[in-house]
Amino acid sequence: MPDVLVLGGTGEARAVAAALVDDGVDLVSSLAGRVQSPRLPVGEVRIGGFGGRDGLADYLRGNGVRVVVDATHPFAARITPNAVAACAAAGVAYLRLARPAWEPEPADRWTRVPDINAAATVVAARGGRVFLTTGRQDVGAFACVDDAWFLIRVVDAPDTELPPHHELLRSRGPYTVESERELLEWHAIDLLVTKNSGGPLTSAKLRAAAERGIEVVVVDRPSEPTSIETAPTADDAAARVRMLLQRYRP
């Protein structure tokens, strides 16, 4: 039975799993199963949900898990509250691997919005040629925007209604500033829409947009439970897990 459950699907989740497996830690990484061909971490992997907080608590108790590392995406809004509650119910240590959010630089032209619907409202007002990088699950929010053209970059094709004027680009990061600069120039982009995911994997688009003076509509992160233990990087999280496993030896 695993000592550690890593709630994953991100690069940080794969990195912390690799570090802990190298240390001989018995762990399982859990992926939600929303990506068709996910990058799998080392070690044991399970794919699929747990059935909410009660199902996750039952899994933790039934498998003797001692530490949960929540390394899910910052916009996976339902998972983190469920994991916090499940760990509290099961008496399991919880750690949030929370990558730092992006912060605007002096050259940036950011318009910050609270959610994806607010982003769609801004885009409808601006029009123009839009580079949409919010992920396939949010494309439907822009389906009624008919006064703009969209370059929609996704890993998997969306299964929602699409804007009337668009081009679909299936691609997976990481990206370089040079490649993002060329993409913006080739498609004559004048507005970028992104979630504030943080991290280096897709941050190059922000620098490329700043170089060209392009406005960026940035969707702020959803709020997370307060008073939870966090680590900013995979290395920090792995070190903290080692300490927790030593502290709570069975």
Backbone angles phi, psi at 66, to 5 degrees: -105, -30
143 and 72 share one domain: no
Of 33, 29, 96, the closest CA to residue 65 belongs to: 29
pLDDT of residue 137 exceeding 80: yes
13 and 77 share one domain: yes
C-alpha triplet 198, 153, 173: angle, nearest 5°: 50
21 and 71 share one domain: yes
pLDDT at 1: 80
163 and 113 share one domain: yes
50 and 149 share one domain: no
Residue-range definition of the domain harbouring residue 212: 109-219
66 and 88 share one domain: yes
135 and 90 share one domain: no
Q: Rounded CA gap, 200 and 100, in Å?
A: 10
Q: Does residue 104 lie within any of the structural domains? A: no
CATH number, domain of 228, equals 3.40.50.720
pLDDT of residue 247 exceeding 70: yes
149 and 191 share one domain: yes
201 and 115 share one domain: yes
pLDDT at 36: 65
Mean pLDDT, residues 135-139 taken together: 93
| pLDDT more than 70, % of the chain | 97
pLDDT at 249: 62
**238: Cβ–Cβ under 8 A, 6 or more apart, which residues?**
16, 19, 20, 23
CATH number, domain of 163, equals 3.40.50
How confident is the model over 166-213, as pLDDT tens digits? 999 999 888 999 999 999 999 999 999 999 999 888 899 999 999 999
Q: Rounded CA gap, 36 and 159, in Å?
A: 12
Q: Does residue 154 lie within any of the structural domains? A: yes
Q: Rounded CA gap, 95 and 237, in Å?
A: 8
As a whole number, the mean pLDDT across the chain is: 93
How confident is the model over 29-84, as pLDDT tens digits? 999 766 666 788 999 999 988 988 999 999 999 999 999 999 999 998 789 999 99
pLDDT at 248: 61
Mean pLDDT, residues 112-122 taken together: 98
Q: Does residue 178 lie within any of the structural domains? A: yes
207 and 228 share one domain: no
